[in-house]
């Protein structure tokens, strides 16, 4: 392998890559006794890297890839770079584009993409097509909706009576059987009806995301040599955000690249303390968990100062050294601010965001407010009930739209696709996010109309949309729709949408429909929502439809992005407010011993016996809020009920450097 790569990475190459990344030639040089980043850059052996929040692991990975790309000579072997999400994949792709040689990694024979796209492109899709199955739609929501309609009312009633969710209409074996159909026997008529719906829709080309792993594994079962072929094609593999890999993802990657003879050389980057999953029932990896030996630590954060590091490191389930070398000056060049806790009661819960806005105005200059990233996040952001105040983000901001920030599932309407894109654009400031958000919504429209998936490759949504309409009159309508969307930054009024955008949307829909009748579901998907009307005395001013809370309402000086903790994972904020919410108990109230410094890590000490891990639920709370509290570079804030604390406990918080703001 070293011979293939041209020998060990040199310090001169590392200095070149550091300058390319905008870090200066000494960007990966040792800092005192800490040479972890330099050693990570030089190492080409298999290993796992535990990289703390803000350590610049993606920058380090891209710099390393740039060096390897510059010296890569094989024409039929490539480097495989796998990420957990499209957002991470796009970030890696954008950074690689900074160098002509590094940009070559985006083309054959290399692969840069998500784990799902890799499995689809190299295993599942070719296998399905070889077996006579078309691949029209790979989308869990669309596929389950189609199956639910197909089973008929009689079996839908059976599902309801047995409290079976739509996941009962998925399968995890190539014979379409499933372990998610309760205690139904495979021989019952109802089980067979569900199985038939899965088989028929798959034969029509409709698949849930995770079902593609079923077919990929079947290919590997029947043709074991495929794994060896992929190892020869990709002798070097990098995996980003490895802590988020599910068991299905980790198992198949281990099978392809690691199990048995002649494994590929693999490096994984992640942070086990940030392993939070999109759904409550998603399990982490058991077959090939992260991290595994040899493990290398990267403990220095360039995001936040030592004061924030000292506050949050105790929330890490697995205790790790955390060195604060920030705050980063990427957005603003300013000193860090004292952390603050906002206290409220039932009547004052909607005062939290305005008081946070006022606190930001007090501590940041006007020029900093204009370019900084100011965010408020909640562990629970969907308002399913109205009890246990504060249950969710909606108690703080009644007009919050959870679908806008929900990354783990597709939006329900085209307006929500644009709203989510505006939300993400606030974080990155790049208009391509908006264009791809529009394109993703239009591709979704095509899938709702039965249009075959435009592409299952690595191209952007916009490029797939252009290719799907190439040579058609509808392409001009799509490009005009892009112009309109950019002109209003995706924030149409209902009238402007109806007058200006709908004619173009209709022409594209007619092209996708191919003469078939458009259903009510499709009409609902493309209908723009009415504007929210404020009522007198509405304290939590209505955010824009992209969940941005502006303060003051009349002449805003600061814009605060609202979202779930999941929605901001991987981001860096100037200031982050972590709002307490409820799941079986109030999250931050349960974590109060960690806030007060009385507890640290995920172990509990009993009077007798060895330390034991906390409950799964509490470990989940710790990881979730560790992610939230490690986002800010300059200011960390939390909001909790006033009655959660005694006066003595508030004195402890003040002694630990917290400013206490009473909203009651």
Which among 447, 476, 479 has a CA at the least distance from the CA of 462? 479
Measured distance CA(416)–CA(12) in Å, rounded: 48
Average pLDDT (16-36) is 92
pLDDT at position 95 over 90: no
Q: How far is CA 446 from CA 103, 136, 323, 465, 526, in A?
A: 31, 10, 49, 10, 12
User: What is the percentage of the chain residues whose pLDDT exceeds 90?
Assistant: 62
pLDDT of 289-310, one tens digit each? 999 989 999 999 999 999 999 9
pTM of the shown model: 0.84
Q: In which residue are the tokens 């800490």 written?
A: 34
Q: What is the pLDDT of residues 99-111, one digit of tens each?
A: 777 888 888 999 9
Rounded-to-integer distance, Cα 465 and Cα 483, Å: 15
Query: Residue 606: its pLDDT value, please?
Result: 64
* Helical (H) or strand (E) element with 306: helix 306-312
Window from 80-94, 241-255, 261-275, 449-463 with minimum mean pLDDT: 449-463
State the pLDDT at residue 333: 92
Cis amide leading into 552 (omega within 30)? yes
The HSE-up count of residue 508 (CA atoms within 13 Å, CB side) is: 30
> Measuring CA to CA, which residue among 429, 387, 368, 398 is closest to residue 535?
398
Q: Which residue has the tokens 């007090």?
A: 362
Count of other CB atoms within 10 angstroms of residue 167: 14
- Which pair of structure tokens corresponds to residue 275? 């392993």
pLDDT at 628 over 90: yes
Per-residue pLDDT, 282: 55
Q: Residue written as tokens 């806030």?
A: 595
Tell me the helix, strand and coil percentages in the chain, rounded to 5. Answer: 45, 15, 40
Mean pLDDT, residues 405-416 taken together = 72
> What's the whole-number mean pLDDT along residues 133-156?
90
Give me the pLDDT at residue 521, please.
Answer: 79
Convert the pLDDT of each residue in 200-237 to its tens digit.
Answer: 999 999 999 999 999 999 999 999 999 999 999 999 99
Task: Give pLDDT tens digits for 562-600.
Answer: 999 998 988 999 999 999 999 999 999 999 999 999 998
Considering only residues 535 and 102, tell me which one the structure prediction assigns the higher pLDDT: 102
* Alpha-carbon separation of residue 317 from 119, 208, 220 (angstroms): 31, 33, 36
pLDDT for 517 beyond 90: no
CATH of domain 299-405+547-664: 3.40.50.300
Of the chain, the percentage scoring pLDDT greater than 70 comes to 91
Q: What is the pLDDT confidence band of residue 413, given thresholds at 50, 70 and 90?
A: confident
Q: Which residue is it, tokens 């906390």?
A: 614
Mean pLDDT of 345-352: 96
**pLDDT digit string, tens, across residues 36-62:** 999 999 999 999 999 999 999 999 999
Task: Report whether pLDDT(543) > 90.
Answer: no
In tens, the pLDDT along 420-441 reads 888 777 655 667 888 988 998 9
Residue with tokens 């990344």: 21
Q: Over 80: is that where the pLDDT of 482 sits?
A: yes
Here the tokens at position 160 are 């309801």
What Cα–Cα distance (Å) separates residue 52 from each residue in 58, 244, 273, 323, 408? Answer: 12, 14, 9, 9, 24
For the chain, what is the mean pLDDT?
88
Task: Give me the pLDDT at residue 491, please.
Answer: 85
pLDDT at residue 455 in the model:
47
Residue 505: φ, ψ to 5°: -60, -40
The token pair at 121 is 């492109």
- What SS3 class is residue 290? coil
Peptide bond into 291 cis (omega under 30): yes
The end-to-end CA distance of the chain, in Å, is: 64
Count CA atoms within 13 Å of residue 158 on its CB side: 18
pLDDT of residue 7 exceeding 80: no
Give the integer Cα–Cα distance in Å for 154 and 159: 9
DSSP 120: I
599 alpha carbon, distance to own chain's centre: 29
Res 536: pLDDT: 44
What are 73's two structure tokens?
Answer: 């000579």
Residue 179 in this model has a pLDDT that exceeds 60: yes
pLDDT band at 452 (very low <50, low <70, confident <90, very high): low
Strand order in the sheet with 374-378: 548-551, 558-564, 374-378, 573-579, 632-641, 340-344, 659-662
Enter the DSSP assignment of 390.
S
Of 568, 511, 574, 447, the closest CA to residue 143 belongs to 447
Weakest mean pLDDT among 56-60, 351-355, 540-544:
540-544
Model confidence at 273: pLDDT above 90: yes
Arch. (CATH architecture) of 2-121+216-297: 3-Layer(aba) Sandwich (3.40)
Domain ranges of the chain: 2-121+216-297, 140-208, 299-405+547-664, 414-528
Instruction: Please identify which residue in the block is written with the tokens 């960007």.
Output: 27
Q: What is the rounded CA–CA span in Å between residue 295 and residue 406?
A: 33
Structure tokens of 96? 């690689």
């Amino acid at each position: 392998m070293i011979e293939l790569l041209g020998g060990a990475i040199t310090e001169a190459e590392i200095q070149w890559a550091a300058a390319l990344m905008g870090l200066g030639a000494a960007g990966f040089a040792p800092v005192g006794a800490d040479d972890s980043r330099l050693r990570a850059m030089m190492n080409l052996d298999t290993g796992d890297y535990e990289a703390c929040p803000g350590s610049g692991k993606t920058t380090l990975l891209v710099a390393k890839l740039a060096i390897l790309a510059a010296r890569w000579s094989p024409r039929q072997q490539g480097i495989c770079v796998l990420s957990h999400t499209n957002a991470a994949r796009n970030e890696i792709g954008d950074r690689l584009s900074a160098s002509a040689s590094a940009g070559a990694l985006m083309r054959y024979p290399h692969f840069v993409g998500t784990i799902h796209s890799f499995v689809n492109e190299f295993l599942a899709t070719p296998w399905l097509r070889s077996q006579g199955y078309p691949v029209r739609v790979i989308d869990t929501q669309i596929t389950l909706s189609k199956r639910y309609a197909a089973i008929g009312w009689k079996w839908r009633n059976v599902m309801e009576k047995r409290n079976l969710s739509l996941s009962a209409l998925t399968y995890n074996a190539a014979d379409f059987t499933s372990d998610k159909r309760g205690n139904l026997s495979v021989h019952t008529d109802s089980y067979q009806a569900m199985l038939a719906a899965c088989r028929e829709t798959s034969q029509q080309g409709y698949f849930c995301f995770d079902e593609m792993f079923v077919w990929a594994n079947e290919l590997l079962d029947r043709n074991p040599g495929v794994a060896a072929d992929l190892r020869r094609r990709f002798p070097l593999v990098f995996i980003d955000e490895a802590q988020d890999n599910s068991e299905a993802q980790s198992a198949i990657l281990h099978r392809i690249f690691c199990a048995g003879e002649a494994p590929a050389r693999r490096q994984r980057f992640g942070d086990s303390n940030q392993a939070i999953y999109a759904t409550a029932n998603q399990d982490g990896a058991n077959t090939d968990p992260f991290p595994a030996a040899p493990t290398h630590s990267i403990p220095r954060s360039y995001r936040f100062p030592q004061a924030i590091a000292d506050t949050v490191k105790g929330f890490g389930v697995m205790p790790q050294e955390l060195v604060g070398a920030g705050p980063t000056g990427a957005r603003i060049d300013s000193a860090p601010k004292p952390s603050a806790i906002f206290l409220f009661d039932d009547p004052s819960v909607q005062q939290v965001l305005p008081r946070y806005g006022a606190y930001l105005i007090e501590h940041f200059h006007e020029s900093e407010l204009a370019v900084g990233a100011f965010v408020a996040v909640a562990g629970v952001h969907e308002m399913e009930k109205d009890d246990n105040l504060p249950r969710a983000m909606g108690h703080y901001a009644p007009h919050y739209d959870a679908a806008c920030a929900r990354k783990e599932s597709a939006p329900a309407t085209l307006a929500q696709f644009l709203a989510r894109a505006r939300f993400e654009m606030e974080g990155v400031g790049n208009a391509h996010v908006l264009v791809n958000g529009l394109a993703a919504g239009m591709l979704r429209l095509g899938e709702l109309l039965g249009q075959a998936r435009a592409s299952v490759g690595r191209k952007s949504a916009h490029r797939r949309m252009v290719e799907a309409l190439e040579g058609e009159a509808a392409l001009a309508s799509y490009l005009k729709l892009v112009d309109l969307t950019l002109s209003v930054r995706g924030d149409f009024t209902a009238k402007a949408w109806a007058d200006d955008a709908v004619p173009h949307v209709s022409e594209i829909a007619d092209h996708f429909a191919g003469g078939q009748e458009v259903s009510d579901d499709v009409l609902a998907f493309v209908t723009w929502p009415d504007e929210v009307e404020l009522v007198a005395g509405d304290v939590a001013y209505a955010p824009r439809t992209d969940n941005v809370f502006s303060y003051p309402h009349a002449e805003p000086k600061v814009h605060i992005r609202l979202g779930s903790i999941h929605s901001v994972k991987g981001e860096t904020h100037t200031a982050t407010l972590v709002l307490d919410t409820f799941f079986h108990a109030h999250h931050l109230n349960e974590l109060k011993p960690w806030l007060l410094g009385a507890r640290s890590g995920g172990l509990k000490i009993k009077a007798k016996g060895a330390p034991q891990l906390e409950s799964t639920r509490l470990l989940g709370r710790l990881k979730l809020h560790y992610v939230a509290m490690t986002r800010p570079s300059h200011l960390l804030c939390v909001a909790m009920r006033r009655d959660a604390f005694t006066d003595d406990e508030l004195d402890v918080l003040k002694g630990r450097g917290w400013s206490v703001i009473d909203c009651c």
